[in-house]
């Protein structure tokens, strides 16, 4: 199936990045938000990112102009009516996502593939809210989307081979390296990442080592580009807590149980880079 137009539901941190990379790859893009204020904020973030890229000579001014010309913002989901591929990037709320999928299913043509950017929620639960579960899959991008090279393509028990192949080809056209995962809690990356970060938090909580030494141990001892506590701050401690709680609820595996320190930081609103303080402080 030829993909000409891509829809993106949500123009937040993930949605605007997805819209940007799709437009940079040459696709016509329509991206939505629930109101004009959030839409303007998301589109401004795309403009700002591309402006920095021009300043750093990663792209030309013409590249930026061409990319922006391919992106149209909307607050009306009816504008997804001629999309060939649609990616939902709303907040991690399963009921909300199911509602979006049910609505989009009625708007998009029969051939349209519907994807979700969820990091840990059941994709099959969203698929069965539509009349095309065979055309639903996961497309889990990583933050920041324009920088991170990996894309998890996630299949459910209902996803057809044609849908999986199209999702794989589409992801590659965005310049991403694809890994295929089953619709299982946390997929591949978060299933691996979460216990490592939680163990680092437990070590800090127990006084085994300082946060700096824990992170240095990982960066210099295991050649990781970033330590687990710094990574938690980058991901967002509220996002991390949501991920591990979701996995733990499904698997009942103690390694995914959230440490008290993580829950307390989230309760205090200390969420990492996004708030200026988490395990570390940020200017």
Catalytic residue among 77, 117, 122, 152: 152
Q: Decide if 117 is catalytic.
A: no
Catalytic residue among 32, 53, 117, 190: 190
Residue 108 corresponds to which tokens in the numbers above? Answer: 């998009």
Q: Decide if 119 is catalytic.
A: yes
Q: Decide if 152 is catalytic.
A: yes
Q: 198, 199, 141, 205: which is closest to 175 by C-alpha?
A: 141
Q: Decide if 77 is catalytic.
A: no
Catalytic residue among 53, 140, 246, 248: 140
Q: 194, 116, 193, 129: which is closest to 155 by C-alpha?
A: 116
Catalytic residue among 119, 122, 246, 248: 119
Q: CA distances (Å), 134 to each of 57, 148, 151, in order?
A: 42, 28, 20
Residue 249 makes CB contacts below 8 A (sequence gap 6+) with none
Sheet of strand 113-116, all strands in order from the earlier edge strand to the far edge? 71-74, 28-32, 5-9, 85-88, 113-116, 136-141, 150-155, 177-182
DSSP code string of 161-204: HHHHHHHHHHHHHTTPEEEEEES-TTTTHHHHHHHHHHHHHHHH
Residues recognised as catalytic: 119, 140, 152, 190
């Amino acid at each position: 199936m030829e993909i000409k137009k891509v829809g993106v539901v949500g123009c937040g941190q993930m949605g605007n990045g997805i819209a940007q990379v799709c437009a940079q790859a040459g696709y016509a893009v329509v991206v939505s938000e629930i109101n004009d204020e959030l839409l303007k904020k998301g589109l401004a973030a795309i403009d700002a990112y591309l402006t920095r890229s021009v300043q750093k000579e990663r792209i030309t001014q013409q590249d930026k102009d061409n990319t922006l010309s391919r992106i149209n913002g909307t607050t009306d989901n009816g504008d997804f009516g001629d999309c060939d591929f649609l990616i939902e990037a709303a907040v991690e709320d399963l009921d909300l996502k199911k509602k979006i999928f049910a609505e989009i299913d009625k708007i998009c043509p029969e051939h349209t593939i519907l994807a979700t950017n969820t990091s840990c929620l059941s994709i099959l639960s969203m698929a069965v809210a539509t009349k095309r579960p065979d055309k639903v899959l996961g497309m889990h991008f990583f933050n920041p989307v324009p920088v991170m090279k990996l894309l998890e393509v996630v299949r459910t028990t209902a996803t057809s081979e044609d849908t999986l192949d199209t999702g794989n080809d589409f992801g590659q056209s965005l310049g991403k390296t694809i890994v295929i995962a089953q619709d299982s809690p946390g997929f591949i990356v978060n299933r691996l990442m979460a216990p490592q970060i939680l163990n680092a938090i437990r070590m800090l909580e127990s006084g085994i080592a300082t946060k700096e030494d824990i992170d240095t141990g990982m960066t210099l001892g295991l050649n990781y580009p970033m330590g687990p506590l710094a990574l938690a701050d980058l991901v967002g401690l509220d996002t991390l807590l949501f991920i591990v709680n979701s996995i733990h609820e499904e698997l009942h595996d103690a390694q995914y149980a959230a440490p008290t320190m993580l829950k307390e930081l989230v309760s205090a609103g200390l969420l990492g880079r996004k708030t200026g303080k988490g395990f570390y402080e940020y200017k």
